[in-house]
Amino acid sequence: MRYISRDTQATIDLNALVENYQYVASIAPQSNTIAVVKADAYGHDANLVAHALSPHVELFAVGFIDEALALRQSGIKNNILILEGPFKVSDFTIAHEHNFLLMLHSDYQIDWLLSHQPQLTQNIWLKVDTGMNRLGFAIDDIDNIISKLDTTTQQNLVLCSHFSTSEQITSRKPVEQLARLKPLVEKYSCQFSMANSAGIFNFPASHGDYTRLGLALYGISPTDNNLLTEQLNPVMTLQAKIIAIHQVEIGETVGYGDTWSATRTSKIATVAIGYADGYPRNAKSGTPVFINGRVVPIVGRVSMDMITVDVTDLTVVAVGDSVELWGKHISIDSVAKSSDTINYELLTRVSKRVPKVAAS
Ligand SMILES: *Cc1c(COP(=O)(O)O)cnc(C)c1O
C-alpha cells in the first residue's frame, strides 16, 4: 500500500465514465464509438479508465505506441488505434504482435508499411488532410497512395480526417472538410472516421463508421451551444484540504508578489494544492473553488504547493475541510476561463504527484 500523508487527490467516477460512453455512443448509434485514452486518459489514469470501459468498448485510441503498450501491460485486450501512427519502422513489428491499428499520415510511413514483413493483417487507417493542415495526405495524393497498397489492405482501408472547428456549431468549415473526404470514401467504398467529441454532437453527418470520443467521455462538454451535452457528467473531481486559516487585516497582502490585498478583515484559507500539482499558475484572483456547499474565490498568486482562498463569507470552515477545485460543483471551464487556457490542458496537466483514485 502506498502511504498517503497529503489528502490531495483526483477522484475518478468510473460509473459516470461508463454512462458518458454509453450516452454519447447512443447519439451516434450507427457508428463504432472509439474511446480515446491518450495522455493518460486525459489525465484520468489510462489503466483505471480502460479497465472500466473495456467490457463496453471495442476499440481504444492513443497517440503513440508507448501508450498502447502500457495498456497491454496492464491487461487490456481490446484493439488499440494509434492516432499518430508509427514513429519508427520497428513500430510495425510491435503493432503486428499486439493488434495495434496504425493511422498513417505521411509517405515515410507508407514506405515502412510496404517494406515490412510479415505484412500487417490489421486494418490500415489513412489520414487525409481536409483543412487542418497538421497531419495527413493531401486529397490529390490519395489515389497514388492507395494504388501502392495491396488489395487486402485496400479492401480494409479506413479513411479519416480531423476537424479544426467542430466545437463551433455555426462554423461552415466542418461541412467543407466532410465534403472533401466523402468523395474519396465513395470512390474507394471504404469506411471512414471524422468526428471527435464536438463533431459527434454538432455534425451528425460526420459520424461515419467510427467516431473518436475524447473529451466528452470524461463528462466535459466540447461545445457550449448544444443541449445534448447537458447530460454529460464530469468524471474527475480534483480535491485538496485546508491546511491553515489566517486572519488578514485591511491593507495586508496575501501570497507572492503581494498581488491581492484585503479590503475588509478577511479569513484566508490555505489549501494544499499548487501549480506543481497541475492547478494552473495563471488562475486569477476570483477563480472559484467549492468549500462546504459554497463557491468562494481564490485570492493572490498560486504557489507551487498551495493556493489561498477567501473564506470570510463562510460561516463554517475549519482546517481539514475539503476543497473542490473542479468536478461536480465547479466546472473545469470556469477555471480554464479565468486561467487563459482550455479544459483539455487543465485535465492533462494534473501531475503525477496527485493520486487518481476511483470514487467509491
Ligand atoms: C485527441 C483526438 C481525438 C479526440 O478529440 P476530442 O476533441 O477530445 O473528442 C480525436 N481524433 C484525433 C485524431 C485525436 O488526436
pTM here is 0.96
What pLDDT, on the 0 to 100 scale, is given for residue 119? 78
pLDDT per residue, tens digit, the chain (360 aa), is 678 999 999 999 999 999 999 999 999 999 999 999 999 999 999 999 999 999 999 999 999 999 999 999 999 999 999 999 999 999 999 999 999 999 999 999 999 999 987 777 778 999 999 999 999 999 999 999 999 999 989 999 999 999 999 999 999 999 999 999 999 999 999 999 999 999 999 999 999 999 999 999 999 999 987 889 999 999 999 999 999 999 999 999 999 999 999 999 999 999 999 999 999 999 999 999 999 999 999 999 999 999 999 999 999 999 999 999 999 999 999 999 999 999 999 999 999 999 999 997
Task: Name the superfamily (CATH) of residues 236-358.
Answer: Lyase, Ornithine Decarboxylase; Chain A, domain 1 (2.40.37.10)
Q: Report d(CA 21, CA 46) in Å as an integer.
A: 15
Q: Looking at the chain, which residues constitute the CATH 3.20.20.10 domain(s)?
A: 31-222
Residue whose CB lies within 8 A of the most ligand 1 atoms, among 27, 34, 36, for a mutation test: 36
What pLDDT, on the 0 to 100 scale, is given for residue 117? 79
Q: Tell me the three state secondary structure of residue 213.
A: strand
> Nearest-5° angle of CA 119, CA 120, CA 123?
140
- The closest alpha carbon to 124, from 103, 106, 105, belongs to 103
User: Containing H/E element for 6?
Assistant: none
User: Where in the sequence numbering do the catalytic residues fall?
Assistant: 38, 256
CATH: 3.90.850.10, 3.10.20.90, 3.90.1150.10, 3.20.20.10. Which one for 31-222?
A: 3.20.20.10
What pLDDT, on the 0 to 100 scale, is given for residue 121? 76
List the residue whose alpha carbon is closest to atom 15 of ligand 1. 83
Cell of 77: 485486450
List the residue whose alpha carbon is closest to atom 4 of ligand 1. 214
Q: Report d(CA 183, CA 192) in Å as an integer.
A: 11
Alpha carbons within 13 angstroms on the beta-carbon side of residue 49 total: 28
Ligand 1, atom nearest to 344 Cα: 8
Is 301 a known ligand-binding residue? Answer: no
Ligand 1, atom nearest to 127 Cα: 13
Long-range residue pairs from 327-332, CB within 8 A, at least 24 positions apart, any chain: 327/11, 327/234, 327/236, 327/237, 327/238, 327/239, 328/233, 328/234, 328/237, 329/290, 329/295, 330/288, 330/289, 330/290, 330/295, 331/234, 332/220, 332/234, 332/236
Ligand 1, atom nearest to 200 Cα: 9
Burial class (CB in 10 A: 0-12, 13-18, 19+), 160: buried
Give 255-277 as a DSSP string: SGGG-EE-SS-EEEEEES--GGG
- Distance from the alpha carbon of residue 93 to the mean position of ligand 1, in angstroms: 25
| Residue bearing cell 481564490 | 298
Residue whose CB lies within 8 A of the most ligand 1 atoms, among 83, 160, 206, 232, for a mutation test: 83
Q: Tell me the three state secondary structure of residue 138.
A: strand
Count of other CB atoms within 10 angstroms of residue 344: 18
Is 134 a known ligand-binding residue? Answer: yes
- Distance from the alpha carbon of residue 347 to the mean position of ligand 1, in angstroms: 14
- Distance from the alpha carbon of residue 3 to the mean position of ligand 1, in angstroms: 35
CA dist 106 to 32, 115, 182, Å? Answer: 25, 15, 20
Q: Tell me the three state secondary structure of residue 218.
A: helix
Q: Looking at the chain, which residues constitute the CATH 2.40.37.10 domain(s)?
A: 236-358
Pocket of ligand 1 (CB under 6 A): 36, 38, 83, 162, 196-198, 212-215, 222
Ligand 1, atom nearest to 215 Cα: 8
Positive/negative CA dihedral, 87, 118, 126, 218: negative
Q: Are strands 9-12 and 236-248 parallel, antiparallel or unpaired?
A: antiparallel
List the residue whose alpha carbon is closest to atom 6 of ligand 1. 214
φ, ψ of residue 254 in degrees (nearest 5): -130, 125
What pLDDT, on the 0 to 100 scale, is given for residue 224? 80
